[in-house]
Amino acid sequence: MNDKPEKLIDKKGIRLDGRKADELRPVKIQVGVLPNADGSAYIEHGKNKILVGVFGPREMHPKHLSQSDRMVIRCRYHMAPFSVQERKSPAPSRREVELSKVIRESLEPSVFVDLYPRTGIDIFIEVLQADGGTRCASITAASLAIADAGIPLRDLVVACAAGKIDDTVVLDLYDAEDKLGVADVPVAYMPNLNAVTLLQMDGVLSPDEFESAVNMAVEGCKKIYIMQKEVLRNKYMVVKEEAEE
């Protein structure tokens, strides 16, 4: 398992896990899974399993952190000790602190923060199982949880990564491809407004490769967005159908 395979993608364009270059991992999403949170969502993106709970808007504690002209968004990304092969210390690591900030900033443009001044919302992201691309799956789920809490949004935020393995640009890298590949480009995107809210790159890409990676990631986002909308609709449709019977 730890030996590097000769090739991450074969001549026919099939990857180690059997996907084509522009194919997403299977995605399964649920909303409203936690009755104690104001809004919640659960996502299974390939082998990633992530649970998100949102509280608020509520009064800020401690009070001095509140802003008199806007709502404050706080975000905690946390990986469970059992989420990876080698036990991870439950204390927040440098990586988790950074991801918390990055996820918060990618969600902030979608929320109408100036509508409810002096309040705050808290987003708690728990990664139960990680397999590459957790920040993207977290953003997708967190945006749904915010919508589920009844907080007004400009648009849902979807995220998806693209990258380069061997010499091919591919969509939605999983753990092995992320570690052994050449580059990884996570993108968060608001489809209706055609706005990118997060764009990172780790690795080396030529300008042309970078452009095709971003375009590929945006296409991936659009596919996940359809699922996101579907899930939100279904939650309320189920009740409607039951009543009509």
Partner 1 sequence: MPIFFEKKQLVTPGELLAEGDYQPGENTYMEENKIYAQRIGLVDAENKRVNVVALRAFYVPKVGDIVIGTVTEVGFNGWTIDIRSPYAAILRASEVLSRPFKPQNDELSQVLNAGDLIVAKIASYDRAHDPQLTVGEPGLGKITRGQIMRVTPTKIPRVIGRKGSMISNIKQETGCQIILGVNGVILVTGKTPADEELAMMAIRKIEEESHTSGLTDRISQLLKEEKSKMEENKT
Residues binding partner 1 (CB under 8 A): 38-39, 56-59, 68, 110, 112, 116-119, 147-150, 152-156, 190-193, 228-229, 232-233, 236-237, 239-240, 242-244
Closest to partner 1 by CB, 32 vs 181, is 32
Q: How far is the CB of 16 from partner 1 (least distance, A)?
A: 35
Rounded distance between C-alpha atoms, residue 170 and residue 166, angstroms: 10
**Sign of the torsion formed by the C-alpha atoms of 74, 153, 145 and 118:** positive
Closest to partner 1 by CB, 60 vs 79, is 60
Which residues is 185 bridged to in the sheet? Answer: 162
Closest to partner 1 by CB, 181 vs 191, is 191
Closest to partner 1 by CB, 82 vs 112, is 112
Rounded distance between C-alpha atoms, residue 159 and residue 120, angstroms: 24
Q: How far is the CB of 232 from partner 1 (least distance, A)?
A: 5
Q: How far is the CB of 29 from partner 1 (least distance, A)?
A: 13
